[in-house]
Structure 1
Amino acid sequence: MRGSVLWGWLGPLLVTLFGGVLRFMGLGHPNAVVFDETYYAKDGYSLITWLVERVTIKDADKALIAGNTDIWQKCTEATLDKCASYVVHPPLGKWMIGAGEWLFGMNPYGWRFAAAVIGTLSILVLARVARRMTRSTLLGCFAGLLLALDGLHFVLSRTALLDIFLMFWVLAGFACLVVDRDRARERLVDWYETSPLSPQGPWLGLRPWRIAAGVCLGAAMAVKWSGLFFAVAFAVMSLLWDFGARRAVGLRQPYAGAFAKDVPTGLAAFALVPFVTYMATWFGWFATATGYGRNWDQATSSGPIYFVFDSMRSWVQYQWQVFSFHSGLATSHPYMSDPWQWPLLLRPVAFFYEGKQTSCGAKDCSEAVLGVGTPVIWFGALAALIGLIAWYVATRDWRAGAVLLAYAMGWLPWFYFAITENRTMFLFYAVPMVPFMVLAITLCAGLLIGPSAKTAGGAVPLRRTLGAAAVGAFALLALINFWWLHPVLTAELIPYTEWKARMLFDKRWI
């Protein structure tokens, strides 16, 4: 890694601070239950209070906004089964939401706090991984800045939904694997230079960064099951990197060496570790009698061995019910969209809208939160992804391949559900793709600027000047575009005409 270690951290931290200020400013506004916060804010508080999700009373949203947190059904021993809430997502994301509520109370700021923290941290993670992939602190900061300015990432960082947590754990797992790739190759080179050669090469140890990636990918699945797509793809990607590393160092039997010495520990990191992580997030359900489908009385009737067996049987049955629910989810919704529409931002989600006749400098005023990406970034990413495909076909560059794979795992599986099940889907399902869209733009920006004079042995100054100017202009356009959309991302009170002017695709955005 060339360049200053100090600036390698200070630059990304400054960009993260900028993104954090944007996300935390006015976090408690609107003072309302926004979109699916009606489920996750309550589930988070229920988890930190009773370790499981419980059913709420009628009109619970109104009671919450009025300051009444006593909204859960009163339970007795005879009615415990009626108090258990049937939930269709694993608990980790709701535990994280609940942590914010534990710190700041059951109010909009409290239930959005964790999302803002995680959204801000993801800017730092992306800036650092982009720096590692490009060997450029400037490009790392460029990537972090674009993520900070993306509208969809911004809105989900200020809303108590699960998708921002899914995005974070997927990105963190990817970042850990990029570090693991570097560390594994360093060990191979050190071995090659200091040890007698063998046909298969050495065992590279436990590889803590790969284990950390397994934890992150298990956490992604413990937020939403769609994290499984990334977990499987990243496992294959990492093992392919091992094959390539052993071949690149010149071993006579690189594939046999990888299968014998990398695959066993890789399977542990990508199968056992995620499974243990996933199961650990269900500890509240296993430890209490009030979870949905828990069947506590039967599980405790015949000793500890039967308790474990019957508890697992009940848990598996519950997972199957959840799977059946998702397989048959085809309820119509006014803001649903198909996957092919997501990259084009054809149907964003109105998280919140309230028309008012009050003082905003006009007769009719609006407050709105629109879940939409920053068009300059999303449309720029389309061009960048096409460029990455050409780059990968021509050079087989691992960076282009990794970004394309991650983007595909956030997008292509949803086509199956759209075609076979006509499943209800929304644009914000695409937020795990956003960091990899930004990475695609960043890698193409690096190609446009070209290598430094030191790296290239004297690069043409004009090319670097023009390339840097083009990249800087793109960043400025993204900033202006985000600034223009900002009032309809944060429920700012503005005249209706200004709200209407920001609906770029008119009826599709309304």
Structure 2
Amino acid sequence: MVATEIEPARATPLRERLAPRVPGSMLWGWLGPLLVTVFAGFLRFDRLGNPHSIVFDETYYAKDAYALLRFGYEHSARDDPKGIADKLFLADTPGQIWTDGGSFIAHPPVGKWMIAIGEAIFGTTPFGWRFAAAFFGTLSVLILCRLARRMTGSTLLGCAAGFLMALDGLHLVLSRTALLDIFLMFWVLCGFACLVNDRDHARRTLSAKLDGDPDRSFGLGPYVFHPWRIAAGVCFGLATGVKWSGATFLFAFVIMVFLWDMGARRAAEVQFPYAGALAKDGVATVLSLGVLPVITYVATWSGWLFTSGGWGRGKVSPTVLLRPFEGLPDLWRYHERMYEFHSSLSTKHPYQSWPWDWPVLRRPVAFFYQESTTGCGASKCSREILGIGTPAVWWAAIAALLVMVFLYLVYRDWRAGSILLAYAAGWIPWFWYAASDRTMFMFYALPLLPFMCLAIVMALGMIIGPVAQPAGRRIVGSAIAGAYLLLVLINFWYLYPVLAAKSIPYDSWHMRMWMDSWV
């Protein structure tokens, strides 16, 4: 998932054309991203158990995660207006909250299994159920650093991409709460990183095999093994196992990798590049990005398939090995019910928003809000967790994505094209649901964030300019890029109190509500 180094001793002209090596020091290629990751980890783990209460939809996912540990499936819990179940759960006595039978759930189990990792280690405490979100949120920063380095050829720009994500408010909030979207973003990012690695690996292999033949224009070209594509298939199966919206990225990326395969063979002057991509790479693509994600997804339901008691689970065979096959019809009916739920979900919510609101941050979600008369040195204090992106990142990303459109249309830059495709795959499908008035929230846009950061650092790279540019030009460009990163840091620092439930005077809190719709 994290890019590996390309360090050939002597690259051939074909190799340099198809898959040029990533320049720079291998030491700094890892040390720089690791330093950014440590910084991101500090922000995410500091005061992770604060507030010591169940925040927003943690009331569902933290309990479901513990039920998976105990039963293997989501179990029904007490649901009463006095919040007794929440109090028992916070008191680390979750055994008293269960009622009879399995619970119908709207999302697959992968994200809840990941939350359960922290609960298994640290118990049913706020730190315990938030641990996995903080860990995988931090790890996603490292992966993005390495991915951006590979795509831009610059360790500095790679670190800048991770720095932007580390300082994004929405990423921070979802890395500090037990919701599912941070895990969806993580697996989508991992899958995309695997595909970028696969692109380089396939081109290296292709150039090596063609260099061994005096005639590079023969037939369909050689067969290429795609190990990273297999890893990507597992990642996208897990992404879909967190939320079904992960599948939209997979569909888009299947098209993308075919275009990459076709482009590689055409650049290598294979006689029939399109047929070669279909014949020599197509089977691998279907197996790794078609069959394997489905197998992975079904496997994530193992706890439900192998046990009795889950919602909709029929009679369980005494023969353990037969249970998954016996349970598949029940699982299909379960999914029909889940689809019916999602397609008819139109309950009004005070914090709901629409896809066109997300890039401009019009309507964030208040995960937690509390007023008091102590703790901030003023007569009225406020504590909030506001699920909102850092404006300096999200608003700049709008302009950066337009730059990507220019790069792709004018220069056919594969990096710009893949960024735009990924962003579209995670954003445009929600417009379909908006037409049916489906309830949606801004944090659904989190999987777009890595691609927004990639777009921004690509634009910053253009501002800085290539190494061949005059020194004065690069100094000015670097100053502009540095000033922008400083602006992001200041913007994040200013918003941090309302992202991390810090107690501040009410007037200070209100100053940070830049739009009426943020309240």
- Could you tell me the TM-score, scaled by structure 2's length? 0.93
User: Which residue, 482, 497, 508 being the options, matches 1:487?
Assistant: 497
Map 1:82-481 onto structure 2 (within 5 A). Answer: 82-197=100-215, 198-205=218-225, 207-296=226-315, 299-300=316-317, 309-419=325-435, 421-452=436-467, 456=468, 459-481=469-491
Tell me: CA distance 1:252–1:427, structure 2 relative to 1, closer, same or farther (3 Å): same
**Unmatched tracts of structure 2, length 5 or more:** 1-21
**Structure 1 residue 310: Cα displacement:** 3.9
**Structure 1 residue 83: Cα displacement:** 1.6
**Unmatched tracts of structure 1, length 5 or more:** 75-81
Q: Distance in 1 between matches of 2:97 and 2:503?
A: 33
Question: Contact 2:385–2:501 (CA<8 Å) still a contact in 1?
Answer: yes
Count of residues in Structure 1 that have an aligned counterpart in Structure 2: 492
**Structure 1 residue 350: Cα displacement:** 0.1
Tell me: CA distance 1:306–1:68, structure 2 relative to 1, closer, same or farther (3 Å): closer
Q: Distance in 1 between matches of 2:323 and 2:105?
A: 23
Q: Distance in 1 between matches of 2:268 and 2:321?
A: 50
Counterpart for residue 90 of structure 2: 65
**Structure 1 residue 371: Cα displacement:** 0.2
Q: Distance in 1 between matches of 2:310 and 2:129?
A: 22
Counterpart for residue 79 of structure 1: none
SS across alignment from 1:367 = strand
SS across alignment from 1:294 = coil
RMSD, matched Cα: 1.3
SS across alignment from 2:242 = coil
User: Is the deviation greater in 489-498 or in 49-58?
Assistant: 49-58
Tell me: CA distance 1:369–1:305, structure 2 relative to 1, closer, same or farther (3 Å): closer
Q: Distance in 2 between matches of 1:304 and 1:47?
A: 19
Tell me: CA distance 1:356–1:38, structure 2 relative to 1, closer, same or farther (3 Å): same
Tell me: CA distance 1:441–1:305, structure 2 relative to 1, closer, same or farther (3 Å): closer
**Structure 1 residue 384: Cα displacement:** 0.4
Tell me: CA distance 1:391–1:307, structure 2 relative to 1, closer, same or farther (3 Å): closer
- Could you tell me the TM-score, scaled by structure 1's length? 0.95
Tell me: CA distance 1:309–1:119, structure 2 relative to 1, closer, same or farther (3 Å): closer
Q: Name the amino acid aligned to 1:164.
A: I
Once the two structures are superposed, what CA deviation does each residue of 1:363-413 show, in whole Å capped at 9, x if it has no partner?
001110000000000011011011111111111100000000111111110
Q: Name the amino acid aligned to 1:45.
A: Y
Q: Distance in 1 between matches of 2:76 and 2:129?
A: 18
Once the two structures are superposed, what CA deviation does each residue of 1:27-59 show, in whole Å capped at 9, x if it has no partner?
000111100001000000110111111011233
Q: Distance in 1 between matches of 2:309 and 2:123?
A: 23
Q: Distance in 1 between matches of 2:92 and 2:120?
A: 15
Counterpart for residue 15 of structure 2: none
Counterpart for residue 28 of structure 1: 49
Q: Distance in 1 between matches of 2:150 and 2:488?
A: 23
Q: Name the amino acid aligned to 1:504.
A: W
Tell me: CA distance 1:66–1:195, structure 2 relative to 1, closer, same or farther (3 Å): same
Once the two structures are superposed, what CA deviation does each residue of 1:312-332 show, in whole Å capped at 9, x if it has no partner?
111100011000000000000
Question: Contact 1:97–1:113 (CA<8 Å) still a contact in 2?
Answer: yes
Q: Name the amino acid aligned to 1:508.
A: S
Q: Name the amino acid aligned to 1:366.
A: S
Question: Contact 2:90–2:124 (CA<8 Å) still a contact in 1?
Answer: no
Q: Distance in 1 between matches of 2:255 and 2:204?
A: 21
Q: Distance in 2 between matches of 1:378 and 1:284?
A: 39
| Identical positions, percent | 54
Question: Contact 1:54–1:72 (CA<8 Å) still a contact in 2?
Answer: no
Q: Name the amino acid aligned to 1:52.
A: Y
Q: Distance in 2 between matches of 1:66 and 1:342?
A: 37
Q: Distance in 1 between matches of 2:258 and 2:136?
A: 29
Q: Name the amino acid aligned to 1:185.
A: R
**Structure 1 residue 146: Cα displacement:** 0.4
Q: Distance in 2 between matches of 1:231 and 1:155?
A: 26
Tell me: CA distance 1:500–1:255, structure 2 relative to 1, closer, same or farther (3 Å): same
SS across alignment from 2:466 = coil
Tell me: CA distance 1:307–1:283, structure 2 relative to 1, closer, same or farther (3 Å): closer
Question: Contact 1:126–1:144 (CA<8 Å) still a contact in 2?
Answer: yes
